[in-house]
Amino acid sequence: MLGALIIVFREVIEAGIIVGIVMAVTKGLRGSRLMAGAGVAAGVLGAGLVAAFAGVIAETLNGFGQELFNAAILSLAVCMLAWHNIWMASHGRELAAEARKLGQEVRSGARSLVALAIVIAVAVMREGSEVALFLYSLVAAGGATARDLVIGSLLGLVAGVAVSAVTYFGLVTIPARRLFAVTSALITFLAAGLASQAVSFLQQAGFVSAWRWGDTAWDTSAILSDTSLFGRVLHTLVGYADQPSVLQVVVYAGTLATIFALSKAFAPRAVARPPEAPAPQRG
């Protein structure tokens, strides 16, 4: 029962922390709750489909369909997060001005919301499909132990949702004028972590194995194992890995640098404002 609890808990927090961050980022934007709900619903549906067609996905592309599929959807999430951050950097000020003018009616935020709904859907689909396969294997086994394990899974689900809720409520207590900077940084690191995970899948499939790209860059498992709870949370938040490959490190740094540079490049030139002018209200 404890084993099942831990497995489900781990998958749920990996998706849930991402959902929590995205919901905090879009809090107050009109339609953001609907978008988050639609993202979760699409993710759950997608998870069921991925689990149901696991065999088909696994068989394609010389048996590496699963890795390429995971790498592709992770890359999609990275692009969506990058685009959101760059879009917010370039429109943040006008968005804040509009928000003041029109209250909650920030219509121009809608496109960015779609990008974040896709991020939520991808996160839920990836982790959810593993939970679905796990639960199916429990139910298929049948018997008293199965009942025990299903109870464990449900407890894992509840605990995972609780941790995700803590993430969300922790973030939204940050003062509005700081929230934008905090969430921009969080999203950038989140994107870099997902990009690094995508690389891990590609390398597991034997891609990008030339030179020393696949070698272990360093080993910090003695200091912080990424299988510990804190390591797991850091893994989800900022992509922490205790034994990253060389290419994972390069792609991680490259993603951080790219998003940071593009956000800077697309940000409107700073206009001298009186110091008492209110900062952008939201992120």
Q: Which of residues 27-66 bind another protein (CB under 8 A)?
A: 54-55, 58-59, 63-64, 66
CA pseudo-torsion sign 32, 34, 37, 42: negative
Contact region with another protein (CB under 8 A), list: 150-158, 166-174, 210-218, 272-280: 210-218
213 binds another protein (CB under 8 A): yes
Nearer Cβ to another protein (45/266): 266
Question: How far is the first Cα of the chain from the last one, in angstroms, to the nearest whole number?
Answer: 41
Among 77, 130, 180, 187, binds another protein (CB under 8 A): 130
Q: Which of residues 131-150 bind another protein (CB under 8 A)?
A: 133-134, 136-138, 140-141
205 binds another protein (CB under 8 A): yes
Q: Please count the residues of this chain forming the interface with another protein, following the rule CB under 8 A.
A: 57
Nearer Cβ to another protein (126/168): 126
CB contact at 8 A, 157 and 12: yes
Nearer Cβ to another protein (156/214): 214
Q: Which residues contact 275 (CB under 8 A, 6 or more apart)?
A: none
Among 153, 183, 188, 200, binds another protein (CB under 8 A): 200
87 binds another protein (CB under 8 A): yes
CB contact at 8 A, 17 and 236: yes
190 is written with which tokens? 């989140």
Nearer Cβ to another protein (66/183): 66
Among 60, 170, 227, 278, binds another protein (CB under 8 A): 227
What's the min distance (Å) between Cβ of 105 and another protein? 22
What's the min distance (Å) between Cβ of 200 and another protein? 6
188 binds another protein (CB under 8 A): no
86 binds another protein (CB under 8 A): yes
245 binds another protein (CB under 8 A): yes
Report the interface residues with another protein, using CB under 8 A: 3, 7, 54-55, 58-59, 63-64, 66-67, 75, 78-79, 82-83, 86-87, 90, 130, 133-134, 136-138, 140-141, 200, 202-211, 213-216, 219, 221, 225-227, 241-243, 245, 247, 250-251, 254, 258, 262, 266
